C-alpha cells in the first residue's frame, strides 16, 4: 500500500462547508420566534452571539425525534452559543435561515451511552458547561444589536426543551409562565 495516500488524506480538511460560512443577522434571529438558547455557564444569554464569527446548522435524529440547532463558533472555532428549534418556533423563518448555512450532523447519536456520558464528563471538567433559557430574540439599534426576552412555552415546547437540556447536560429550568425580562446586547 502506498504511503502517499495517508499523507494526502491527512492534508485534506475533515469537512468542507457546503455553503459560505457567515453569522446570521439580528433580524434573521429575531424572525425565529421562541427558541431554546444554550450558552456557556460563565457568560450571559447573548454573549455567545457577540463572540461568534460564524454559524452552521446541526441536524440529527435520535430515538425521540429530529433535533435541529444553530451552532455559533468563536474565532478559535469553539462553539460559543446554540439555538434550538422548538415546536413554538417559526419553522418557515428557521428554514430560510438554515438554507444559507452549512449543515453538519449532530454527531452524538451514533455513540454509545457510555461514550456520551464520557463526553459530558470531559466537557464539564474542561469548563464547557452550558446553561439554558427559552427566549424570544429581538433586533435592536436598526438591526445591529440583539436583545432577548424570556418567552413562555406550550406544553409540547416545554417537553422538547427539557429533552434537549437533558441530552446536552445544560443547567437551568424550563419556565412556562411569561416574564418581562429583557436583556440587551
Q: How large is the C-alpha radius of gyration of the chain?
A: 17
The whole model's pTM is what?
0.77
| pLDDT by 10s per residue, the chain, length 185 | 444 434 433 443 444 444 445 789 999 999 999 999 999 988 889 999 999 999 999 998 877 778 899 999 999 988 999 999 999 999 999 999 999 999 888 754 445 566 556 656 655 565 568 899 999 999 998 878 999 999 999 999 999 999 999 888 888 877 655 554 444 44
Residue 17 to residue 149: CA distance in whole angstroms: 32
Domain count within the chain: 1
Beta bridge partners of 184: 147
Give residue 157's domain range. 20-184
Handedness of CA 140, 146, 148, 154 (dihedral sign): positive
- In a domain, residue 12? The reply is no
Tell whether 3 is covered by a domain: no
pLDDT at 114: 64
The reply to whether 15 falls in a domain is no
- CA-to-CA separations, 183 to 74, 83, 168, 180, in angstroms, rounded: 21, 16, 24, 10
User: Is residue 30 in a domain?
Assistant: yes
- Contact in structure between 103 and 18 (CB atoms under 8 Å): yes
Identify whether 1 is part of a domain.
no
Amino acid at each position: 500500500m502506498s504511503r502517499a495516500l495517508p499523507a494526502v488524506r491527512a492534508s485534506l480538511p475533515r469537512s468542507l462547508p457546503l455553503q459560505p460560512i457567515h453569522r446570521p443577522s439580528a433580524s434573521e434571529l429575531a424572525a425565529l420566534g421562541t427558541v431554546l438558547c444554550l450558552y456557556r455557564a460563565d457568560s450571559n444569554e447573548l454573549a455567545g452571539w457577540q463572540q461568534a464569527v460564524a454559524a452552521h446548522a446541526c441536524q440529527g435524529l435520535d430515538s425521540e425525534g429530529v433535533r435541529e440547532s444553530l451552532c455559533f463558533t468563536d474565532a478559535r472555532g469553539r462553539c460559543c452559543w446554540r439555538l434550538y428549534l422548538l415546536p413554538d418556533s417559526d419553522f418557515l423563518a428557521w428554514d430560510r435561515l438554515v438554507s444559507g448555512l452549512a449543515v453538519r450532523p449532530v454527531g452524538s447519536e451514533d455513540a454509545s451511552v457510555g461514550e456520551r456520558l464520557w463526553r459530558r464528563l470531559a466537557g464539564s471538567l474542561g469548563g464547557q458547561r452550558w446553561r439554558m433559557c427559552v427566549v424570544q430574540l429581538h433586533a435592536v439599534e436598526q438591526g445591529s444589536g440583539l436583545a432577548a426576552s424570556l418567552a413562555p412555552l406550550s406544553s409540547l415546547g416545554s417537553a422538547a426543551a427539557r429533552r434537549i437540556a437533558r441530552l446536552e447536560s445544560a443547567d437551568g429550568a424550563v419556565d412556562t409562565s411569561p416574564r418581562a425580562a429583557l436583556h440587551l446586547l
